[in-house]
Amino acid sequence: MPLLKDGLPTEDAWRLAESEADLDRDGPLFVTPELWRSARARLAGRNAPLGLRLRSDQSPQELAEDLPHFKAIALEFPKFSDGRPYSYARILRERLGFRGELRAVGAVLRDQLAFMQRCGFDAVEFDAPDAAAGWSAATREFSAWYQPASEGGQPIPALRRRLQAAE
C-alpha cells in the first residue's frame, strides 16, 4: 500500500509480523501487542526498528511503559466511523509523549486527513494511487481552527485575543 509521510509519498520499509516465525525478518517490523508480550525479550534485542500496530479496541495506555521500545505506532481504523484511533493518537502525543511515527492504517478517507494531522498522525497508508494530491488538498483546506490540537497551531479565539491586544 502507498504510504504518505508528512504529506509526501514515501517508500514503506515496514512489514507486519503476524507470528513468531515472522520475527526473523530483517528491517523495520510492526508487531501486535500479543506478539510483543509473548516475545518481548527477543524483540527488545533487535537491531532493526520496531513498531507497534494497535487495533481500535486496544488502548496504547496498556503498553505505556513499553513505548520507548517503539519507533512507530500504527493505529488501525477498521471503518471510517470508528473514532477511537483519533483519541489514541492524542493520548500518545499529549499524555504519553510519543514522538515517533504515528501512522493511520485501514479505512482512511481523504476527508479525515486534516483531522488526523491535528491529532498527531504524521503518516497514512492509502489504497488510492493519487493519495498524495488528496493529502495536500485536505490538509490545506483550513488555515485556522476553533479548537486546540496536538499539531500546535493557535486556535481562532487565541488569535483574536492576540490581535485585539496588539491594537
Q: Pairing relation of β-strands 3-5 and 8-10?
A: antiparallel
Question: What 3-state DSSP class applies to 124?
Answer: strand
**What average pLDDT does range 19-45 have in this prediction?**
92
pLDDT of amino acid 130: 56
Residue that has been written with the C-alpha cell 493519487 in this structure: 130
Please count the residues of the chain.
167
Mean pLDDT of the chain: 85
Reported as a pLDDT band with limits 50, 70 and 90, residue 55 is: very high
pLDDT of amino acid 146: 56
Residues forming beta bridges with residue 4, ordered by sequence position:
9, 124
Count Cβ atoms below 10 Å from residue 114 Cβ, excluding itself: 18
28 to 20, 73, 110, 127: CA distances (angstroms): 15, 12, 27, 21
Residues in Cβ contact with 160 at an 8 Å cutoff, skipping those fewer than 6 apart: none
Cell readout for 126 is 492509502
For residue 145, pLDDT beyond 60 = no
pLDDT of amino acid 72: 97
pLDDT of amino acid 134: 66
Tens digit of each residue's pLDDT (9 = 90 or more) over 66-103: 999 999 999 999 987 888 999 999 999 999 999 999 99
**What average pLDDT does range 15-24 have in this prediction?**
91
Residue 48 is which amino acid? A
For residue 153, pLDDT beyond 90 = no
> Which ranges of 2-155 would DSSP assign to H, the alpha helix?
33-38, 40-44, 84-90, 113-119, 131-140
Q: Name the residue with higher pLDDT: 25 or 131.
A: 25
* pTM of structure: 0.79
Class of domain 3-166: alpha beta
